[in-house]
Amino acid sequence: MSKKPDDFQVNTGGVNAMLSGLSGRFDTKTPDQPAIDGTTAERHNGTTAPRPKQPAPPAPKPSKYTLLLDQDDALTLDQLALTLRRRTGRPVDKSEILRALIRLADTSDPINEALAKTLDRRTPQTETA
């Protein structure tokens, strides 16, 4: 068996010096930068991307109600839906109108007060002597 010299030799001294010089620039942290936790990618300038927002939880399933309207109230609700469609520029569902009215009556004291007065007039008042 004869000993053959290596065909070629690679000198990696210059590459190692270059890589060690580059790695030093990524070691510094800025005061407002969170620690690298493996969930975000590190940018070339040493900062990390902002965390993505968590998706909103799904809306609860709506409850079904049956609403009995007399002819005048049904016509008024239809007209209100048409008027709101013209004002908003999009179709407005009647159930969307009722949900909005419920929220308004719950969160707005003047609307809640007006609703209470309206309902007081609709119920017969008994007088006690």
Rounded to whole angstroms, the Cα distance separating 23 from 109 reads 63
Q: Is the pTM of this model over 0.85?
A: no
Closest by Cα among 28, 54, 49 to 38: 49
> What is the model's pLDDT at position 100?
95
Burial (0-12, 13-18, 19+ Cβ within 10 Å), 37: exposed
DSSP state of 95: H
Structure token digits, residue 59 = 């809306």
List the structure tokens of 21. Answer: 């010089």
**47 near 33, Cβ under 8 Å?**
yes
Give me the pLDDT at residue 27, please.
Answer: 54
What is the model's pLDDT at position 110? Answer: 94
- Report whether 111 contacts 121 (CB < 8 A): no
Mean pLDDT, the chain cut into blocks of 10 residues (129 residues total): 64 68 57 58 64 82 91 96 95 94 94 90 55
pLDDT of 29:
58
pLDDT at 129: 44
Answer for the pair 37, 49: CB distance below 8 angstroms, yes or no.
no
